[in-house]
A and B are shown apart, each in its own frame.
Chain A
Amino acid sequence: MSVGAKLLLVGLAVAALGVLTGFYTWNLTYAGGSPVYTVPVKYVNGHPVVDLKIQTVAAIGSKLSPNPDWVSYLVRTKDGTWKRETVWDLPANATIHVTDYNFDGDSGLRNPVFGKMYGVSAGSVQNAVYLDGKVTSAIDPTTASHVFAVSALGVVVAFQGVPDSAKNQCGPEAPCPLSNAHTTTEFTFHTKGPGHYRWQCFVPCAAGWIDGWGGPMQTIGYMDGFLNVEA
């Protein structure tokens, strides 16, 4: 084989490796293990506003995941169905109203500081949320079920768990209907300029994994994801 042919083969192999690496990196960082959901945007006086409804469940079930016993977030899509999609396209410099319905019990925070609401507002009250309609700036960290935190935006919200004694607990198949026992947390935050922001839970809530931090805590599409903030 001539030197030119060898060089061509090496070049093609390097190019193919580059394409595969690029695809892997894009898939890992942009979409990860989750489809991208483009959240509908309303414009109020020209300002982009988004209503985001999510729920957190103790077990995703077999209909929505090959890992039915994994804890997970779900998002209500524009057709009203709940999907396990944790990568969301959002507009830049927008107001994001979030409502979380938490159907899971408490696990407790490893670091209690994440029990303090931060970077969000409940109406005009800064660094607070509405927890079942009541303005709340922090919860007892031992009662935390999950956290929604976007570190790069300085957003931290802890969701209170459903008491073990509550009746009508959600079963092993998500999504959970609102008729099941749940806590409701409402809050507002603002996106900044375009960027790729990761979000995650800070409660060690992965049942059966070492320190509660494996499986769904280390796999995009369950307890973490991205905000693709676009201009």
Chain B
Amino acid sequence: MAAEPAATRPRDGISHGWRVVAAWLIVSAIATPLVAVVLGPHLPPGNASTQASQQVVDNTVITSIVTPVICLILVFFAYSLIYFRAPRGATVLDGPPLRNDSRVQIVWIIATSVTVLFLAGFGTYELLQNGAGGGQGPSPVAVPSAEKIPVQVIGQQWEFTYRYPSFGGFETHELVLPADTYITFHVTSLDVVHSFWAYELGVKVDANPGVDNVAYVQTKGPTAFHLRCAELCGLFHGYMFGEGRVVTPQQFQTWAARQRVLYAPITKYLPPYSTTYLPDPQERGG
């Protein structure tokens, strides 16, 4: 029986494994702080709300954790390209057989388990703080204790409209919110499934017909934010976008009073405020 070929060792006597580990540690030690400190603050979605800022922190944590993993892959890839390349013209030989190494396996299992469990725990904790700007369905679990202004988001092909039940129930085509205030979004749809995405607010909530999908957000200072539908909803889905505004509480009160007067001629025709609406299909008889 022929002897198995032995793994080649580098001339300095240090095994390939330890060299890879050393290179990985050095690269990770440089890259991870850079990602956390330099890239982190620029990660989406922005800082127009407490939830959005927290999402930036979450994204920074996740990206920082994943950085050493990416570094390991890249370092091993580069090392392999350099040291495990067959010389040009050399005879192609089968390499040494792979054998399990219980130490590597234990380290691998523990490291990946700790990483995944930490991320699961971290994500759950963050979600339970205030819902993280996501839709929580009609019976939210993470409910902020602060006083909140309800704003209803009504999706239809192809525009979102906004109803303010605590200001006389008027409905408008523009979304304006007061600064430094907790908002409760009640998101629903009159036709197909849409998704209400207020990007810089860190809010993304599915708009389903017949469902009251609730999300919370605490606005920060006056700013503008982008609005989009994030669910393919028909011909003009790509044109279902707009811009919302966060204004000072005084400006908001003034705006709301004007809208109430402006929309008074149609408010009387609106159905009573409800968390969902199921209007008749009103299909024409032809």
Contacts and interface: CB of A to CB of B under 8 A. Distances in A.
B242 A111 contact: no
A212 B281 contact: yes
Bin the interface of chain B by size.
Answer: 20 to 34
Bin the interface of chain A by size.
Answer: 35 or more
B113 to A, nearest CB: 43
A220 B157 CA distance: 14
A130 interface: no
A106 to B, nearest CB: 10
B286 A208 contact: yes
A180 interface: no
B262 A111 contact: no
Given A140-B269, A151-B159, A211-B191, A113 B283 contact: no
Contact of B173 (A156, A198, A209, A217): A156
B239 A211 contact: no
Contact of A116 (B240, B265, B284): B265
Contact of A206 (B239, B263, B284): B284
A218 B173 contact: no
B273 to A, nearest CB: 13
Given A113-B161, A151-B159, A218-B234, A207 B266 contact: no
Nearest to B269: A112
28 contacts: A107-B282, A110-B156, A110-B279, A111-B154, A111-B161, A112-B269, A112-B270, A113-B171, A113-B173, A113-B266, A113-B270, A138-B269, A141-B266, A141-B269, A151-B159, A151-B239, A152-B239, A200-B158, A202-B156, A202-B159, A207-B283, A207-B284, A208-B283, A208-B284, A210-B283, A213-B157, A213-B191, A218-B234
Interface of A: 29, 69, 107-108, 110-113, 115-116, 118, 127, 137-138, 140-141, 149, 151-152, 154, 156, 198, 200, 202, 204-213, 217-220, 224
